[in-house]
Amino acid sequence: MDTPNNETKKTVLSFVQASGTPTLGNYLGAFKNWHDMAAENDCIFGVADLHAITVRSEPKDLRRRSVEMYAMLLALGLDPEKNIVFLQSHVAEHSQLAWVLNCYTQFGEASRMTQFKDKSQRHADNVNVGLFTYPILMAADILLYGADQVPVGDDQKQHLELARDVAERFNGLYGEVFRIPQPYIGKKGAKILSLQEPEKKMSKSDPNQKAFISLTDPTDVMVKKIKSAVTDSEAVVRYSPDKPGVSNLMTIYSCCTGKDFAAIEAEFAGRGYGDFKAAVAEAVAEELRPLRDEYEHILADKAYIEKCAAEGAQKAAYLARKTLRKVMKKVGFYQI
Ligand code: AQP
């Protein structure tokens, strides 16, 4: 199995869909871990633009969002010289391997994916086959690069299990072709919830703008969204499953400040939600300000983005081609 550099480091891979502006959920659940892991591992980060078309959008919006998401990855500090940072559609092997893996995935196991059930309800007017086979494309994304670890939020755990099952099935038939990936779920922030419906996860494609904090929201917008977050009538800052709104804000505050829940409860004992929300808003604004500044700086430099994306695609394609060639041979395609 080939890895990007050497055998002592782990290969870490993660993608983000270009389906909107990334949220605080994406940041706390995934991006923050990516940044930390990039220092010590061989990392491959991708903008999943192929995944994004499972939901219909205007071509110009997809293009803009893909570039913005790519700029956001660079702004996180993922060094494009040391890591591979690219756009999925620039490497044709993703789609090619996905087709092969489709034929090694059972309809029944794909039908069990809860995100398909969720998304097909949310987009009932466009329940396309891509929405259903999305996890198989995701398996191809991961398996092409021999990823050891895949940092994801809780919502993607089931998809990763499917990737493992398909890889094990394929290896069982043809020998050790794929490395079996492990999920990496951060200790905190693995599931940041909607600010308006705290029983649902925070999602960048939520039609209710007040439900999520976008990483590019101006500070005053961010503050307003946090102040209007749904809580409860108890007016006590306490972490508990029956207080999902307050617990979610506590998680966000904890991720941004490093304070644990007991310290947060003590800090706000006897104080109302007004004070608490103001502190959460300030902590989020502080956490995101440097990222937003860097993002704006990078986004203004289109030549730099294009250069990094072209180099990233070239490095990714080199690795992907090797794996795909092996797969094609094992399956029995006539080689020329
Ligand atoms: N609310 C969340 N809390 C923690 N982690 C999250 N992630 C997403 N939402 C949360 C993690 O972010 C990474 C990139 O996600 P993605 O954009 O590729 O796909 P997604 O999980 O479908 O995210 P969204 O925001 O909900 O997108 P849409 O609205 O387009 O469906 C993943 O590691 C994910 O776990």
Q: Please indicate whether residue 326 or residue 187 has the higher confidence score (pLDDT).
A: 326
In a domain, 198, yes or no: no
Query: 114 exposed, middle or buried (CB, 10 Å; 0-12, 13-18, 19+)?
Result: exposed
What is the atom index within ligand 1 of the atom nearest the CA of 201? 1
- Given a contact cutoff of 8 angstroms between Cβ atoms, the answer to whether 110 and 132 are in contact is yes
Q: Give residue 330's pLDDT.
A: 98
- Given a contact cutoff of 8 angstroms between Cβ atoms, the answer to whether 273 and 50 are in contact is no
Q: Are residues 308 and 164 located together in one domain of the fold?
A: yes
Q: Give residue 312's pLDDT.
A: 98
Q: What angle do CA 169, 174, 175 make, to 5 degrees?
A: 95
Provide the pLDDT confidence category of residue 2 given band limits of 50, 70 and 90: very low
What's phi and psi for 15, nearest 5 deg?
-125, 155
Which residues are designated catalytic?
A: 119, 201, 204
Task: Report which of 89, 88, 84 is spatially closest to residue 44, judged by C-alpha positions.
Answer: 84
Q: Are residues 213 and 326 located together in one domain of the fold?
A: no
Residues in the chain: 336
Q: What is the pLDDT of residues 291-327, one digit of tens each?
A: 999 999 999 999 999 999 999 999 999 999 999 999 9
**What domain range includes position 233?**
209-296
**Mutation pick for ligand 1 pocket among 120, 156, 215, 216 (CB with most ligand atoms within 8 Å):** 156
Distance 132 CA to ligand 1 centre (A): 17
pLDDT beyond 90 at 4: no
What is the atom index within ligand 1 of the atom nearest the CA of 23? 25
Q: Are residues 239 and 308 located together in one domain of the fold?
A: no
What is the atom index within ligand 1 of the atom nearest the CA of 154? 35
For the chain, the average pLDDT equals 93
Over range 255-270, report the average pLDDT.
Answer: 96
Provide the pLDDT confidence category of residue 8 given band limits of 50, 70 and 90: low
Provide the pLDDT confidence category of residue 3 given band limits of 50, 70 and 90: very low
Q: What is the pLDDT of residues 190-235, one digit of tens each?
A: 799 999 999 999 998 888 999 999 999 999 999 999 999 999 999 9
| 201, β-bridge pairs | 193
- Residue listed under structure tokens 């987009």: 123
Q: Give residue 95's pLDDT.
A: 98
Distance from chain centroid for Cα 49: 12
DSSP reduced 3-state for 23: strand
Distance 177 CA to ligand 1 centre (A): 29
Distance 129 CA to ligand 1 centre (A): 20
Q: What is the pLDDT of residues 28-61, one digit of tens each?
A: 988 888 888 888 899 999 999 999 999 889 999 9
Q: Which CATH number belongs to the domain containing residue 92 in this structure?
A: 3.40.50.620
Q: Are residues 261 and 125 located together in one domain of the fold?
A: no
Q: Are residues 231 and 276 located together in one domain of the fold?
A: yes
* Domain count within the chain: 2
pLDDT beyond 50 at 281: yes
Q: Give residue 123's pLDDT.
A: 83
Does the Cβ of 195 fall within 6 Å of ligand 1?
no
Does the Cβ of 190 fall within 6 Å of ligand 1?
yes
